[in-house]
Amino acid sequence: MSISGMARIIAQALAAVAVSLTTAQGGIVTLRSHDRSIEITGQLLSFDGGSYVLRAATGDLTVQAGLVTCEGACPPRPQDGRIVISGANAFGQNLMPMLIDYFALMQDMELGRSAGDSPHEEVFVLRRGDGTVYVEFLVRSGGTAGVMTGLMDGTVTLGMLSALPEIAQRQALVDTLGEVPNTPTEFAVALDGLAFVVSPQNPLKALSMDQIAGIYAGTITNWAQLGGPDHAITPYMLDRDMGEGGFFTETFLKARGLVYGATIQEVGDTETLNRRIMADPFGIGFTGVGNVDGPRILSLRGACGILSRPDGFGVAAQEYPLSNRLYLVDSGVARSAAMQDFLDFIQTEAAQTAVYNAGYIDDRITRQSVAAQGRRMQNMILEPAVQGSGDIGTLAGDLQTASRLSTTFRFQYGYADFDARSSHDLANLAAYLGQMDLTGREVLVLGFTDSEGTARTNTVLSKRRADFVAAELHKALGDRGNSIHITAKGYGESSPLVCNDTPRGRDINRRVEVWIRDRS
């Protein structure tokens, strides 16, 4: 469960929402959060399919059913029936079928797959050994428009999103629908990044975000304007209002006050996009990293000259500027047995294998040698804000025999506590380190900042953040932490991963990295 999900349970318990019922409607039940970190026991007063009302030692409480499991004298759960999964195009077409396939395998069920009644719909039916239906999934991959509304009004069971809705979007939904009785819960499933692709015959290796925006706005129309061959550019894309297209519209065009040019070639799916780019030496397109099949991926060039490429490690560490997590979001109502089984499966090693085999970046921790991180030394020279920093030589020495883990913790500007996704990452890191033989080695927890503020202030802040992560990691390791040597250091603004000239770039550079090296 996410931090926000647990926080909702705590908030509900502390609120002690009283009810007017005076007679008990059920026996004793225990409600537990899905990560089993929070538990409430009391006498069940009522259950409306969406919320439990129970009488606990602290008073009468209302707890959203979708956030907990129930043990004891629990009311019947909804029938398994059909689970409607709707959302992002590539998520539904590529990743979700693989997840359902692995889920059926783990459940020892027979899986049937057929076309739905409408375009972009598929039906997956899981049957027991005796042929009876266990559950049916209806997967709609027509885009994210209407997903949140569907979750709220009950027409969608699970939403597939490439970004969580902002608070303002959620409030707008409440304003539209009126009172919303349940709050959706999100589950991180995979990582992906927006990749810009060209034919392998195209000689260009990198473009800036401004240049890409100019191509799609029609202000850059010939490759010669970018140092390439003298030939017209053909820009391709999927639906400009959904999925990656919607993200591109907001991030690249609207953010710069631009609109689409007249030469855009829209295609229906990622397979067609790959095929068209491969056949057109002068074309350019974009899609998720996991969907690229054949075309060559371009690097992004920042204003200071730093290059960013969406490789697996860069996306996993979320240091590629256009990386993002893919989420499943449930409606917050009581879950059927099959629904709970599926969401439990999503958080297993088997699900991460499915993510990897579908071509996406899974959530498992990977390691990269300092040699493979060599570009960061070049970045220190390219970024004007850190030129001449005395920390460069010290950092290079510290990392000489080290390897970096993909787990990276990020922070809001000026703060030294975790962002919303870091608790999950901390648990993964503790489990990973707890299984390693670290004899003769140490864990380096290294803090870095953006270039805002003075160098001295940033060095102090980066050390505070590193100390905070090291302390939390030590607690998460439990007794195992007593045998692991953890060293925290702060290097301020001395090692940018991307240029500091944009808010997104500064977000990426405010981080704490985790390295493992031999002890001297």
Tens-digit pLDDT profile for residues 96-124 = 999 999 999 999 999 999 998 888 899 99
DSSP 222: B
Task: Tell me how far apart the alpha carbons of residues 2 and 333 are, in angstroms, rounded to a whole number.
Answer: 17
- Strand 158-161, strand 82-87: pairing: parallel
Q: What is the pLDDT of residue 446?
A: 95
pLDDT of residue 147: 84
Mean pLDDT of 387-397: 65
- Rounded Cα distance, 398 and 490, in Å: 12
Highest mean pLDDT: which range of 52-61, 77-86, 461-470: 461-470
In the prediction, which pLDDT does 15 show? 33
**Higher pLDDT residue, 38 or 138?**
138
In contact, 286 and 197? CB cutoff 8 Å: yes
How far is residue 378's CA from residue 10's CA, in Å, rounded to a whole number? Answer: 47
Mean pLDDT to the nearest integer, 195-223? 96
DSSP character at residue 78: P
Task: Give pLDDT, residue 146.
Answer: 79
Contact partners, residue 78, CB within 8 Å, separation at least 6: 49, 333, 334, 335, 336
Report the chain's mean pLDDT, rounded to a whole number. 82
- pLDDT exceeds 70 at position 60: yes
